[in-house]
A = this chain, B = another copy of it.
Amino acid sequence: MQTLHIIKIGGSIANSDRRLTTFLKNFSGMDTPKIVVHGGGTAATDLCNKLGIPVRMKEGRRITDKPALDVAVMVYAGLINKTIVAKLQSLSCNALGLSGADLNMIPAQKRQHPRVDYGFVGDVQPEDINTYFIRRLLDEQVVPVFPAITHDGKGQLLNTNADTIASALTIALTKYYHTHLTYCFEKPGVLLDVEDDDSWIRQIDREKYDRLKDQGVINEGMIPKLDTAFEALRREVNSVHIKHVDNLLNDKGTELTL
């Protein structure tokens, strides 16, 4: 089986043209089939602010109403996705932007919750991902670039967590490739002290994760990311790393193990 790298980059990387360009140079040099998944982070919030669209939160989670969805589609599937694709093309990397609606790649379910209406938010299952075209494209040396947008198959676009898309895609492709999933962000890995970038740990297994979580050591924002990351490992993804975007090509960062 061939090796496949799936790299998820945090949306805030796209805020810095220099950092994004450096990342894409490193990424385009990777000599295996590869996929990028990206969020939109602060750019969507900035545009919402400029347009006077209030950011609505419920139980700590963002509600995606129609105006917020339109902004997410414009920023993630539009501006950030096409900026990445054009930059990769300039690096001789044959990129193709693919929302979950394109080629019906990632069908999602609008989130159902007994108390909270999250709005136009989609949840994805690895089993629903249409890997046929992804594999055909990878065979043609194409590099798929996925924004955090899916659809329900009935004409509705949905906002979907980029970490979850990366994990679900990797799980779905593990049948066909030796898969390596890397979450890149702006910290050097899982930190023992959120204030200290030198406190990153080299390895974390499920037991240690549960212990650190119980002790309140692991930062709250990291918990959903680590949950999806461990789920990928449990579903036989070959490796999962969490690292700083600048360390894509070296071995600094946190490796997850079962």
Q: Taking the complex as formed, is A99 at the interface, i.e. its CB lies under 8 A from any CB of chain B?
A: yes
| Chain B CB within 8 A of A87 CB | yes
In the complex, per-residue mask of A76-93: 1 if CB is within 8 Å of any chain B CB, else 0 = 111101110111011000
Among B89, B98, B133, which residue has its beta carbon within 8 angstroms of that of A151?
Answer: B89
CA distance A87 to B151 in the complex (A): 10
Inter-subunit contact B94/A97 (CB<8 Å): no
Q: Does A149 contact B (CB under 8 A)?
A: yes
Contacts of A70 in B (CB 8 A): 79
B149 near A90 with CB under 8 A, answer no
Chain B contacts of A101 at CB under 8 A? 82, 85-86, 89, 95, 97
Contacting chain B: which of A6-14, A30-38, A153-161, A216-224? A153-161
Chain A 59-83 residues near chain B, CB threshold 8 A? 70, 73-79, 81-83
A18 within 8 A of B: no
- Copies assembled: 2
CB distance from A166 to the nearest CB of B (A): 19
Check if B82 sits within 8 Å of A73, measured CB to CB.
Answer: yes
Q: How far is the CA of A102 from the CA of B133 in the complex (A)?
A: 15
1/0 per position for A27-71, CB-CB distance to B under 8 A? 000000000000000000000001100000000000000000010
Given contacts A89-B101, A96-B103, A103-B142, 8 further A-B contacts (CB under 8 A): A75-B78, A76-B78, A77-B81, A78-B82, A89-B155, A90-B153, A94-B104, A133-B140
Q: What are 18 A-B contacts with C-beta separation under 8 Å?
A: A50-B51, A73-B79, A74-B75, A75-B78, A77-B81, A78-B82, A82-B99, A82-B101, A86-B101, A86-B151, A86-B157, A89-B101, A89-B151, A89-B155, A90-B154, A96-B98, A96-B103, A97-B97
A-B residue pairs, 8 tightest by C-beta? A78-B78, A74-B74, A90-B155, A74-B78, A86-B101, A86-B151, A85-B101, A87-B155
Interface residues in chain A, defined as those with a beta carbon under 8 Å from any beta carbon in chain B: 50-51, 70, 73-79, 81-83, 85-87, 89-90, 94-99, 101-104, 133, 136, 140, 142, 149, 151, 153-157
